[in-house]
Structure 1
Amino acid sequence: MTSKKKLIIAGVAIFVIALSYSLFGSNNEENKPITTQVIKGKFINEVIISGEAQSTSSKKINGPINARRFNIYQLKIQDLVPEGTVVKKGGYIGKLDVSEINGKINDAMLNLESAESKYTQQKLDTTLTLKQERNKIKDLLFSIEENKLELTRSVYEPPATIRKLEIQIEKNERDLREKQEDYFIKKKQANAKMIQVGTEVSKIKKKIEELTALQNEFTIYSEDEGMVTYVKDWNGTKKKVGSTISPWEPAIASLPDLTKMESKTYSNEVDIRKIKKGLTVTVGFDAFPDIELKGIVTDVANVGENKRGSDIKLFQVLIKLNEINSNIRPGMTTSNKILTHEEDNVLMVPLEAIFTKDSISFAYVKSGYSIQKKQVELGLSNNSDVIITKGLSENEIVYLNKPEDTEDKSIKLLSN
């Protein structure tokens, strides 16, 4: 056999060996038992839920609150500074649509013109009427004076003539008194009408002043310095340009106190049983992975609520941040690790090391060159480990997957 043929045969043999290993060797590797030790240490149980950072104390920036006095109930946001804008005291925040109030001001101006015209007309009518009444009184005075002069010259006239003049004078004096009384009454009536139309003019002028003052409130400025955040509507959406505010919910934005922050989150029905007031929390932030702040649970809702688009009941949990970081802003997504249980010096194994048969929990334990199935008594568990209260000892070797040829082995039960 030539050396060339020997090389070919050797190459084919190596290829067959490699192919066999690739086909069968990996299965052997997959079936290889995985073991770990029973360890003693600190057991930590945490509920991890996401939430949203918000301020526990914020100052509302309100639009006009007196708009409903003028039957204005929906105010549309026409302009609003971007969320996160830092403003100084007196800084511009936004503007509301003034078309409705402008229409009311125009209507009031037309009403004012009409009222002022009525006032002028009433004034002219009053002047003319009272002038006519005064002229009638003057005519009667002249008539009385003439009759008295004629009476004086009629000393030698017959008694009937004298008596006729006296009767005429008495009649004129009586008419004078009646005219004077009528004049007094008509003057009071005229004054009352002037007051009435004058009051209407003043009322409309005052309304225009109030509407103008209200119109000025449609441009909104900050009463303090801070960072602008948008407020949420009744349905949970943030108010922005195009949204509306009402006299009952006049807030257009808010200025949160960044030194008083909390994380608002929602827990499911399973985890809420573990969460209580006073539990410590480690709060992380998606925007700043390197920042972790300590917090404490301050409120746990007793009644669940349905979130939009889901039938699952969720319970609100509020977590107060015990630390301050200038990078944290309202609205940031938070990751909340709530420490629900902590226990030192306990035996633990991974959850994968526990098996169940006929409601009996057991573990596969390495004993020399053999394997035992030992019953175990379990304590609390978390997402990765479980506490062993009975059945195993520290440093014992347990299997994380089911070893081969152990199906017929009996379980070594715990002794009472």
Structure 2
Amino acid sequence: MNKKKLAYLVGAVSILIIIYIFYNKTSNEDVFITAKVTKGTFVNEVYISGEAQSTSSKKINGPSNARRFGVYNIKIQDLVPEGTVVKKGDYIGKLDVSEVNGKILDAQLNLEKAESRFTQQQLDTTLTLKQERNTIKDLLFNIEEDKLELERSAYESPATIRSLELQIEKVERDLKERKVDYSIKKKQANAKMIEVGTEVSKIRKEIDELLELQKQFTIFSDDDGMVTYVKEWNGSKKKVGSTITPWEPAIASLPDLTKMESKTYSNEVDIRKIKKGLVAKIGFDAFPDIELEGVVTEVANVGETKAGSDIKLFQVLIKLNETNTSIRPGMTTSNKILTKQQEDVLMIPLEAIFSNDSISYTYVKSGYSIAKKQIELGFSNNEVVIINKGLEENDIVYLNKPKDLDDKSITLLK
């Protein structure tokens, strides 16, 4: 083997040895994940889902005076599909009118009885007063006869004449009493006729009102709009078979689609960050390309428990500053509420933050070594945290803890 070939062989072996040593060394070293300290705009947002609803909605109610007739629970018999666009006067739905029909039938039977009593009273009155008038006529006739008899007895004895005069006085007194009785009985008869007549009129009026109420069980729209179903106390929507009451008479509503809001519920942790007046962006699951601006208008002070959960949730209302013809009440919304924004601040990922008791620190690349530096933290979100002190822009920090540096002292802030 000549020297040239030997040199090539030694060189090849040397290269293989160097590659092996490098590979073995690299495989035993830690793999570090790092990030730069960046300067920019810090944004903290709360993400909550909700439901679109109108802030101005006109209720479509059932009969307003059903309670006066003892009708309290009325079933919805028919209802147009939710989302139906209607004009003023269009058909909306129909309520179960069977209870009202029963009351109309009862009232008609009562009317027949009242009219029968009226007729009977009328006949009785006519007969009674006729008898009284005949009695008065008879008395007048008797007086006339007695007076003629008195004239013929001018030459009779004084006793006979006086007897006839007393007879005339007695009949005249009876006549006077009969006339008074007639007047009283006539007033009594008139009073009874008014009583039975009033009862008839009252029942007739009741029937007219029931017939008018019957018409109101067919519901028509009193304005243009899109029909949306209203919710019951338990959150479910009223539909065919549901019941309306005098206290909750609405069967549907006509929302104003130009005045919309997102109704959401926040948990106990995030509600501390949400305040009235905060800016929000509202997205819609049905239309991923639509995102509208909004503002928080109401934050509940008292939490409520949803069915099937023990977690307290707080209602938050977000008014939409813009409108879109595609948005409909009941659509699921995704809401981003901007709770904090700071310009020109230093930020690092949350993974780069470590702590020792009350001291927060991070591992920072310093030349060919690694330093442990104390840092002062500011606001944070789910990804990054603001660094008030301890780092500079473009510093390299470690997202995982380097080995064998636990005992290394922390460079404290000055």
1:325-344 pair list within 5 angstroms: 325-344=324-343
Superposed CA RMSD in Å reads 1.9
Deviations 1:320-370 (A, max 9, x none): 110010011111111111111111111111111112233322222222332
Q: Is 2:257 aligned against 1:261? A: no
Name the counterpart of 1:186: 185
Q: Distance in 2 between matches of 1:156 and 1:220?
A: 94
Q: CA deviation at 1:60?
A: 1.0
Name the counterpart of 1:319: 318
* More displaced stretch, 152-161 vs 280-289: 152-161
| 1:276 match: secondary structure | coil
Name the counterpart of 1:4: none
1:7-156 pair list within 5 angstroms: 32-156=31-155
| 2:100 match: secondary structure | helix
1:391-406 pair list within 5 angstroms: 391-406=390-405
Q: Distance in 2 between matches of 1:151 and 1:28?
A: 160
Name the counterpart of 1:387: 386
1:320–1:114 CA distance, 2 compared to 1 (3 A): same
Q: CA deviation at 1:46?
A: 0.5
| 1:325 match: secondary structure | coil
**Identity level (%):** 77
Q: Distance in 1 between matches of 2:153 and 2:357?
A: 148
Q: Distance in 2 between matches of 1:292 and 1:168?
A: 112
Q: Is 2:162 aligned against 1:163? A: yes
1:199-214 pair list within 5 angstroms: 199-214=198-213
Q: For residue 154 of structure 1, what is the amino acid of its counterpart?
A: S
| 1:139 match: secondary structure | helix
Deviations 1:252-276 (A, max 9, x none): 1111111111111111121111111
Name the counterpart of 2:412: 413
Q: CA deviation at 1:308?
A: 2.1
Q: Distance in 2 between matches of 1:30 and 1:337?
A: 43
1:231-246 pair list within 5 angstroms: 231-246=230-245
Name the counterpart of 1:21: none
Q: Distance in 1 between matches of 2:338 and 2:403?
A: 39
Deviations 1:274-300 (A, max 9, x none): 111111101111111110000011111
Q: CA deviation at 1:132?
A: 0.9
Q: CA deviation at 1:161?
A: 2.3
Name the counterpart of 1:356: 355
Q: Is 2:218 aligned against 1:222? A: no
Q: CA deviation at 1:311?
A: 1.9
Deviations 1:42-77 (A, max 9, x none): 110011111111111111111112111112221221
1:315–1:29 CA distance, 2 compared to 1 (3 A): farther
Q: Distance in 2 between matches of 1:342 and 1:87?
A: 45
TM-score normalised by structure 1 residue count:
0.90
Q: Distance in 2 between matches of 1:222 and 1:38?
A: 62
| 1:213 match: secondary structure | helix
Q: CA deviation at 1:301?
A: 1.5
Q: Distance in 2 between matches of 1:385 and 1:53?
A: 31
* More displaced stretch, 29-38 vs 73-82: 29-38
Q: Distance in 1 between matches of 2:392 and 2:358?
A: 22
TM-score normalised by structure 2 residue count:
0.90
1:296–1:76 CA distance, 2 compared to 1 (3 A): same
Q: Which runs of 5+ in 2 are unaligned?
A: 1-22
Q: For residue 47 of structure 2, what is the amino acid of its counterpart?
A: I
Q: Distance in 1 between matches of 2:209 and 2:394?
A: 83
* More displaced stretch, 361-370 vs 189-198: 361-370
Q: CA deviation at 1:136?
A: 1.0
The count of residues paired between Structure 1 and Structure 2 equals 391
Q: Distance in 1 between matches of 2:147 and 2:78?
A: 85
Name the counterpart of 1:5: none
Q: For residue 42 of structure 1, what is the amino acid of its counterpart?
A: T
1:248-287 pair list within 5 angstroms: 248-287=247-286
Name the counterpart of 2:15: none
Q: For residue 98 of structure 1, what is the amino acid of its counterpart?
A: V
Q: Which runs of 5+ in 1 are unaligned?
A: 1-23
Q: CA deviation at 1:159?
A: 2.5
Name the counterpart of 2:11: none
Q: Distance in 1 between matches of 2:81 and 2:27?
A: 62
Q: CA deviation at 1:30?
A: 11
Q: For residue 354 of structure 1, what is the amino acid of its counterpart?
A: I
Q: CA deviation at 1:156?
A: 2.6
Q: CA deviation at 1:225?
A: 0.5
Q: CA deviation at 1:28?
A: 5.4
Q: CA deviation at 1:155?
A: 2.4
Q: Distance in 2 between matches of 1:89 and 1:364?
A: 71
